Structure 1
């Protein structure tokens, strides 16, 4: 297989899958089930995951693979995020098969958009050229803008999509200006070339401004405070399974880009950008947890929770390079498992029309849905950081790395915020079990749990538990990825698209 195709094999499979879904959708008569399209998208996502695993075997055998004139690099780091994103998309699609059955006739568009969005996210994680990262970011963003407003008949959905589009475009402008300033300071947009040129640049102030602009642009994408204003409204209006994917997979891709950029391209400016990271971490943890304390809507509560978790993850960036990458990757995987699981349970409890929205609507839910309520409680405990869950080890590795690197105050602030988070998570948990049912309250009628959705929720629960009691497998993968993610600085040689000129010959 040509090297160029091999480097983008998972993305190519997802793109072809999305196109096939779009071509097949008009062939299904109106009113007929769109489940076959969902199964097609699931098969394509599985194939993409296997392709990423195949890439991992090649990387382990022969080292990183470069393609498309050294703008794409496949290493253990990018493969880790490929596997993570494909897993998130897979469980989301499984849980969505029956979610869109009946009330909507445009489910085929949903499955195609999910595939295209995942393509952009994967493209971001393997790009080592900032312009290529920008292309992947736009592919991912356009898909999620539409998915956020997928429930067309509701005003909150339209508000969600429009607000996400406007503020997302604003964030993209910051990122694009950061790329332009990087080119102005170093003469290149390649991460390797930037790393080699930043130390000798004649305009260090311009380089610092470029780094700040890139961090701000990605800060919007990961919903870090103070760039979080879009998050609660978008999460409230978007469909629950979309929120589960949107709160994890795009964040994973953005954090992957941030890790590559800060630790590969700008390590010599660490003393400057680490101050910005610390400020964003403290603001995100504090604003996220305090904002969640005042919420009664469950999706808004989890939206502020995601802001706080972005702050916890940013704490890992203050460690030394190897520890930072390992802790950030592990925390991303743990947060993806528990947060996607929580939203998938909420999807099953509330349905397409989201009959259960506020904490009061979940009162006594364990009486009708004991299994789902128990799983939701388990995911909430993991979000708190209770031992033997993925959330506990994620915070442990992030905070311990910060302490070992001298950022004790930042770790203490993180621990204090984790204590504050207990109040709103346990308030929802108490509504499920401890609070008595009011006489005028009406419990939701049981909604049958489909087998694919059950498999998706079980997979998220098993992953959350496994990351809490057997974290070594994931840690071994991310630790192997770290040296290849942070190689010695090397600039890819300039590659011309023209054939070399023939040697000059002299006529005797």
Structure 2
């Protein structure tokens, strides 16, 4: 009855896949897109429940060892589904205003989520590659949904060309690793790895492909243009769910395939990439006048903070990364949701920071929630972003990577300037003209309120879930 265990192990992905196929069929028969939107939400909620229920299951593998099940894999799946669920909920009004409210768009989101779930639970280089490419192909399409906008075409073209280039590195790396070890399963690779040039070369090329998907420096060039040209709710989806899935997969690679040994210690490389990513991401964000591009470079900087936790190479470091991914998901989806609301009112080019002058008093609820999300992204207590940064930096200090932690703290302090700059325009600059604002829908406003509430709650009460994460990590990984 192994097939029943296999189906249970990947149940969240199966639910989302069936939902995507159903939505696609409904669109083929010209069923209203509202039905597709509702069905997508129901499918994601069901998948999220399945992922949460599997958190308590003993960690194991399925599909002949290709898929990880339970424990951290379930938590990673839950983070991906949270990002997908909130992104789908808030995108309806935006899609309707921009003629994107069709069933095939929601189907594409579902299929991208299936790829993310496969990536976050991968335990084999083959399932890793299949999940990554399923996710990436769907994201390439979503980046170009704004067909009438030059920025949309630019986003899709750049993402596709650079993504295909990075996939070549990744696939060649997989081939070299297989040639060096004769295996594709993570545990088997670790058992057979030797410090040979072939294995080092394959591992390096594999990491290049991963760093590209994370938007880490110097593989970040695609991020600002893609984020700017993609429909804003989907930008939040790409920045959170896709990044979470890739980071969880990266943890799997580091702990199961490249354990700390002469043949697989990449800590110094990750430290260098983390430093470059934090510094360059924040420095370029400081001079951005476009809010979406600012958040894009901010996303690059946050990838650097997450890499600090990975560089620590401890249970606390990996746990901090997972907690940070959850924190980043709720606050970043919320921030892009508010930006999408402002774009709905005054067009897609309404992302210049000067356009936000005086808007904090136009619709006070939107201004307050954007302020909460930006405070959290800046790492100011008592919001969840502060807690996430504390955990990854504390793990680095405990792992005797004090200089890395200091650089991270200083980079985070510099980020306060560009986050607070948006709020200065919201509340302390006068608008050049009277801008009428559409009242946000109840579902949209309620969803953002829930995200804001979670941002505050988990900033005040972070201890219990974090302790649980350490237990999951300790039982799941050999460190």
Give the Cα–Cα distance (whole angstroms) in 2 for the partners of residues 410 and 173 of structure 1.
Answer: 31
* 1:231-246 equivalence runs, <5 A: 231-246=223-238
- 1:206-245 matches, within 5 Å, as 206-245=198-237
The answer on 1:88 being equivalent to 2:90 is: no
1:102, CA displacement in angstroms?
A: 4.7
Q: How much is the aligned-residue C-alpha RMSD, in angstroms?
A: 1.6
Structure 2 alignment gaps of length 5 or more: none
Where do 1:325-340 residues align within 5 Å? 325-340=318-333
Residues 174 and 38 from structure 1, CA distance in 2 versus in 1: closer, same or farther, beyond 3 angstroms? Answer: same
* CA distance in structure 1 between the aligned counterparts of 2:82 and 2:18, rounded to whole angstroms: 18
CA contact (8 A) 1:263 1:321 kept: no
1:277 and 2:270 aligned = yes
Q: Which residue of 2 aligns with 1:435?
A: 429
Q: Deviation per CA, 1:204-254: give whole Å up to 9, x if none.
A: 222222222111111000100010000000011001100001001111111
Give the equivalent residue in structure 1 for 2:96.
101
Which residues in structure 2 correspond to 1:9-48 (within 5 Å)? 9-28=11-30, 34-48=33-47
For 1:97, what is the secondary structure of its paired residue? helix
Partner in structure 1 of residue 392 of structure 2: 398
SS of the residue 2:266 aligns to: helix
Structure 1 alignment gaps of length 5 or more? 489-508
Larger helix proportion, structure 1 or 2? 2
Structure 1 or 2, whichever has the larger Rg, is: 1
Matches within 5 A, 1:175-324: 175-198=170-193, 201=194, 204-267=196-259, 268-269=261-262, 272-324=265-317
Whether contact under 8 Å (1:327, 1:398) holds in the other structure is yes
Residues 175-229 of structure 1, C-alpha deviations (whole Å, 9 max, x = no match)? 111211111221111101011112xx2x522222222211111100010001000
For 2:357 and 2:220, locate their aligned partners in 1 and report how far apart those are by CA, in whole Å: 29
Name the SS for the 1:101 alignment partner: helix
- Number of residue pairs the alignment of both structures matches: 475
Report the TM-score when normalising by structure 2. 0.96
SS of the residue 2:94 aligns to: coil
Rounded to whole Å, the distance in 2 between the matches of 1:276 and 1:468 is 31
Which aligned pairs between 1:95-134 and structure 2 lie closer than 5 A? 95-104=90-99, 107-134=102-129
Q: Does 2:371 align with 1:377? A: yes
Give the corresponding residue for 1:503: none
Per the TM alignment, residue 344 of structure 1 is displaced from its structure 2 partner at its CA by: 0.6
Inter-partner Cα distance in structure 2 for 1:472 and 1:424: 29
- Distance in 2 (CA, whole Å) between partners of 1:299 and 1:323 is 32
The 8 Å contact of residues 365 and 443 in structure 1, kept in 2 or not, is answered as no
Aligned equivalents of 2:366, 2:107: Cα separation in 1:
29
Counterpart residue number, 1:456: 447
Which one of the candidate residues 407, 410, 420 is aligned to 2:404? 410
1:360 aligns with 2:338: no
The residue aligned with 1:79 is 74
TM-score by length of 1: 0.90
